Structure 1
Amino acid sequence: MSQRINGYAVAPEAYKAKAALEDYFKTTAIEPSLMHLIKVRVSQINHCAYCLHMHREEALKDGDTEKRLLLLDAWRESGLFTPRERAALAWAESVTLISTTEAPDADYEAMRFEFNEKDAVDLTFLIAQINGWNRIAVPLRQVHPQDRAR
């Protein structure tokens, strides 16, 4: 696969503006490990290789395990995820697939059981943010770094 457009080179100010929201997430009560899980899971759903590569590496660097990341796509069938993570992952899937899920009350209520009002909004912004990054990287065919020569 080859890159269609180097979006950052063409419109760096747009990327900088979007990246500014990433700094906000560092100030929230959402733990970095959960942020990584959300970013990886949403990127799996959206088939964004660039974001999967980046956020998997970040998660491992910050102490998550290969086993949890391998089983993230099947988190509902795995006991490796906490109730808080499970509620956030269900909400992330519902929001990412909103055209078909319509963000059901059951997912919202499960998320709200684990997250206060402010954290619920921050989590929803985080999900929207990674969906936005995916929707830039996938259509522009942003190429992830190659781990080894082909």
Structure 2
Amino acid sequence: MARISLEPPRTLTNRLVSWYSKRKFGRDLGPTLAAGHNRRVLMTMGKVEMGSAKWNALDPQLKIMVTMKAAMTIGCEWCVDFSYWLGREAGLDADKIHAVPGWRNSTLFTPLERLALEYAEAMSTTPVTVTDELVAGLGEHLDDAQLVELTATIALENLYGRNNLALGLAPEGLKEECALPARD
């Protein structure tokens, strides 16, 4: 259960954000409702989200996979739920989406994807366990701009996930709505 009311004041800003959220996602989203209690936080988080959506050095599907893995590593169920939805919206193969939790035992991932998933885990543990060898391995596949974008993508997920965990935000059923086939 959320540790903060998900009924922010009915300001013009919150009504506009609600309209946009319902248009894009079919509903208001918990993190946005929680942030709606502080206009400056809401606006800053929105700017960060819109700005990061314009990053284009990396494959968008790779970014979704590392976002999902980071969310799983820190334990943000809301973020995992949302990542499944994002993956399906981006056309990410359902088998890959289902394989992210156990990526080490899957043959579905490319060498770059495997390194990126390992990097997401290493960045999302406390303390961070990123090694020089891991970054060097990524450097064999990515240029510096891509490595910076990968790192920032994972760091943002840690910000969002830890925020959602602290506020007690629960999954909203987006995974169920994205028509992923059930797995045995």
The answer on whether the counterparts of 1:95 and 1:127 sit within 8 Å (CA) in structure 2 is: yes
Letter of the structure 2 residue corresponding to residue 88 of structure 1:
A
Matched, 1:15 2:57: no
Change (3 A) 1:61 1:10: same
The answer on whether the counterparts of 1:40 and 1:52 sit within 8 Å (CA) in structure 2 is: yes
Structure with bigger RCO (C-alpha 8 Å, 6+ apart): 1
Q: Percent identity?
A: 23
Letter of the structure 2 residue corresponding to residue 139 of structure 1:
A
TM-score if structure 2 supplies the norm length?
Answer: 0.72
Q: How does 1:46-85 map to 2 (within 5 A)?
A: 46-85=74-113
Measured after TM superposition, the shift of residue 54 of structure 1 is 0.9
Q: Quick one: distance in 1 between partners of 2:173 and 2:37? A: 23
Q: How does 1:1-150 map to 2 (within 5 A)?
A: 2-5=1-4, 6=6, 7-25=34-52, 26-99=54-127, 101=129, 103-146=130-173
Letter of the structure 2 residue corresponding to residue 106 of structure 1:
E
Q: Which moved more, 1:50-59 or 1:26-35?
A: 26-35
TM-score if structure 1 supplies the norm length?
Answer: 0.87
Letter of the structure 1 residue corresponding to residue 124 of structure 2:
T
Letter of the structure 2 residue corresponding to residue 82 of structure 1:
T
Measured after TM superposition, the shift of residue 65 of structure 1 is 2.4
Output one character per residue of 1:70-128: Cα deviation in whole Å (capped at 9) or x when no partner.
21111122111112211211111111115152x11111111111110111111111110
- List alignment gaps of at least 5 residues for structure 2: 7-33, 177-184
Rg larger in 1 or in 2? 2
Q: Quick one: distance in 1 between partners of 2:139 and 2:38? A: 37
Aligned residues between the structures = 146
SS in 1 for 2:119: helix
Measured after TM superposition, the shift of residue 32 of structure 1 is 1.2
Question: Aligned-pair RMSD on alpha carbons?
Answer: 1.8
Measured after TM superposition, the shift of residue 15 of structure 1 is 3.2
- List alignment gaps of at least 5 residues for structure 1: none
